[in-house]
Structure 1
């Protein structure tokens, strides 16, 4: 039933979007293949047979291997399978169009990298170049994010890893860490069975279409790893392990850097707080705050104050196409994008999770419910903010991956069918739409 409703929502979003896109409508949604940001272009590519092979293997053997393999072996296999799935989807568009040239568009970060010869000066003057209409205004993606996002690609360039290919590899390799970090978090919160059950779904994640290749994939991988380390620190504090404080500080540093990758990732504070509360470890929270605030202080000392950047970005947001994109369409069409990006298995799992959460006292929620509930809160907040109008299939990646633990609530006999549904959605989108990222 809920999958049918989601399909209707997607169908209505497509129909209304196409209607608004017609000549003379007077409304501009800036989404040629609504509700997704891309272009209708049925096509196949060298990644097609590989994607089918990976999907077949995961559907056929994934659940059994996830249940039987030693934990670290299962995690390693999950990462490798997710990497193969993600690369295969990218190669449906071809090596050049689908991978190497995805990040060298004039609106992307790499466009600015050659002109950044003095990193301290770049950070110090970063906010001065955010607003549109100035001779030295940053390009779209650079201006729309804090300096940390651009710094990642500058650092890659300084290490000799310049150009679109290296940048794409960095995004994919880091982005696929979600297939490890999310189940590690679930297990650290005391739900080992759920962690194993979700592994195949972390592999055949339809959102992998946008992990290859977008910088938001890198953001998702970094912040997911941070949350996993935070959960491990909570468990370490409970076990009085020496690694507890270092883990908490590392988690804080990664989360602190996360808000300098994208302003919207400040919402991950909801998830971090949920993890700490589930771990019942105030000390983990305290030391994580030390790590996070050290990053904020470092950027402040370098000349960039996060709140100044945020206010300028909101102003810049409404200088561009966001001022024309109608909130009345996108506030619900975003949900259609979400349904596509997470797939039918997660849609059903969300319904089961909401039911289970309503029947169970919050203090007794397991790891899957805690993480899924926090993810829903973050997504709702992002949607109603009005600062996420379209393109959420990639922008919300750092949030949507935390809905995956809810797939552990699916009945075991049905999991292969739901995995097949996940693969069908990803393959259909990738073969009908030429996504921009």
Structure 2
């Protein structure tokens, strides 16, 4: 592939390696310091800090497939991304991302890797029978958030607004019952997030950058935690909300604006923390401000769509603000109140390295360089760098809030996916894709991840 005009000269590779090396040191420090803290005070509540995982080298039925997907993507991904027609590239990206996530999950076997993930005592399928009367369950939802409340919700149900749980309740109602169907839902829907990001990049920056980013979005180390986690589904909802907003402002489309607003509202009702997606959405509005100025009426369907989900849940008796206030109390009642902020405020960033990879660390260095040279650099590169920076800001705000101490390798998937496009600025894509694939394969097969 031809080097883009905004790429620095070859010496830039050395600086990229320095950035990747700094990321490695951050991870190493988080492991060493974390093991010391956990060995002395046992206040981290993770077995293999900074990840919620335990040491357990293993192979499984998905291992050969994962290796084959990695080799094929590294070898042919950049060329295919450059040559395929756009309409063919999007389903190809989705299919390959699905295969990558699915094969990594199957390295733990069908039962542990997929079917059992969402059935543990912390997970959504544990409370399906408590939603036989959905309106009543919504009215009483906040009464069961605190640990000392009667029949308190398991951790993940208490930690999210009820739209998260209702997704799995509705799957059960239409006959897709059990952990296997729930797991496949999260994998197949979660894999579409990479398509949403590509759509947004093409709309806001240009198609060439989207094509360069495609193999990195497909082969993301985040796939280790996207199979099988409800946060993969949340990431897809948030990603499509942003992508549809990008289409709305660039095509002056009221329909896309209404659809984006609807998904943005849903995003806030599957996860409290995803209100920070508003920062990414704000960046889209800034980048698409000319479209909004030319057709300010776009804001009406956007706001109307945004109001739908909050209105429905509020009328059903669920108070989002009260629930969040109770969640903050619940968080302090459990491990979140014990885990040391002084460690996690930087160790969370090490988790981000592990889900986005060393290529993203190098890409973020180049993103900074593009922003610094924005007056002389190509406009498309600056626009992409601005979008990536908005995602990084959202992640940093989440970090500083102290409401995400540990497990951010899963919780921050919706933000991490928007950092991966920084890899479009890199030269030698096959080299960096190899690093991404090796990181994912090593983590997936050396550690037993859990949540």
- Residue correspondences, number: 427
Contact 2:371 2:382 in 1 (8 A): no
Match of 1:240 in 2: none
Matched, 1:339 2:353: yes
Query: Gaps spanning 5+ residues in structure 1: where?
Result: 238-243
Matched, 1:433 2:433: no
Matched, 1:219 2:228: no
Given candidates 382, 402, 408, the residue that maps to 2:418 is 402
Match of 2:13 in 1: none
> Deviation digits for residues 298-338 of structure 1, max 9, x if unmatched?
11111112111111111111011001100011001001100
State the alpha-carbon separation in 1 of the partners of residues 345 and 280 from structure 2: 22
Contact 1:54 1:81 in 2 (8 A): yes
Output the TM-score relative to the length of structure 1. Answer: 0.95
Match of 2:435 in 1: 421
Matched, 1:391 2:407: yes
Given candidates 264, 277, 282, the residue that maps to 2:273 is 264
The change in CA–CA distance for 1:285 and 1:277 in structure 2 (over 3 A counts) is farther
Matched, 1:199 2:234: no
Matched, 1:289 2:303: yes
Task: State the 1:26 CA deviation.
Answer: 2.3
State the alpha-carbon separation in 1 of the partners of residues 280 and 304 from structure 2: 18
Task: State the 1:423 CA deviation.
Answer: 0.1
State the alpha-carbon separation in 2 of the partners of residues 134 and 311 from structure 1: 15
Match of 1:359 in 2: 373
Matched, 1:165 2:174: no
State the alpha-carbon separation in 2 of the partners of residues 221 and 349 from structure 1: 22
Matched, 1:350 2:364: yes
Contact 1:344 1:421 in 2 (8 A): yes
Given candidates 10, 16, 27, the residue that maps to 1:10 is 27
Q: Secondary structure at the match of 2:388?
A: helix
Task: State the 1:276 CA deviation.
Answer: 1.4
State the alpha-carbon separation in 1 of the partners of residues 172 and 312 from structure 2: 22
Matched, 1:375 2:391: yes
Matched, 1:329 2:343: yes
Match of 1:316 in 2: 330
State the alpha-carbon separation in 1 of the partners of residues 224 and 73 from structure 2: 17
State the alpha-carbon separation in 2 of the partners of residues 358 and 190 from structure 1: 17
State the alpha-carbon separation in 2 of the partners of residues 6 and 366 from structure 1: 24
Contact 2:370 2:382 in 1 (8 A): no
Matched, 1:69 2:84: yes
Task: State the 1:127 CA deviation.
Answer: 1.1
Contact 2:70 2:219 in 1 (8 A): yes
> Deviation digits for residues 232-266 of structure 1, max 9, x if unmatched?
111221xxxxxx11111111001101100000000
State the alpha-carbon separation in 1 of the partners of residues 299 and 403 from structure 2: 28
Given candidates 319, 325, 334, the residue that maps to 1:305 is 319
State the alpha-carbon separation in 2 of the partners of residues 370 and 193 from structure 1: 17
Query: Gaps spanning 5+ residues in structure 2: where?
Result: 1-17
Given candidates 209, 223, 226, the residue that maps to 1:208 is 223
Output the TM-score relative to the length of structure 2. Answer: 0.93
> Deviation digits for residues 128-170 of structure 1, max 9, x if unmatched?
1111112221111101110110110111111111110010011
State the alpha-carbon separation in 2 of the partners of residues 310 and 104 from structure 1: 24
Across the aligned residues of Structure 1 and Structure 2, the Cα RMSD in angstroms comes to: 1.4
Given candidates 142, 152, 165, the residue that maps to 2:167 is 152
Contact 2:130 2:137 in 1 (8 A): no
Contact 2:265 2:310 in 1 (8 A): yes
Name which of structure 1's ranges 362-371 and 204-213 shifts more when overlaid on structure 2.
Answer: 362-371
State the alpha-carbon separation in 1 of the partners of residues 309 and 113 from structure 2: 34
Q: Secondary structure at the match of 1:402?
A: coil
Q: Secondary structure at the match of 1:103?
A: helix
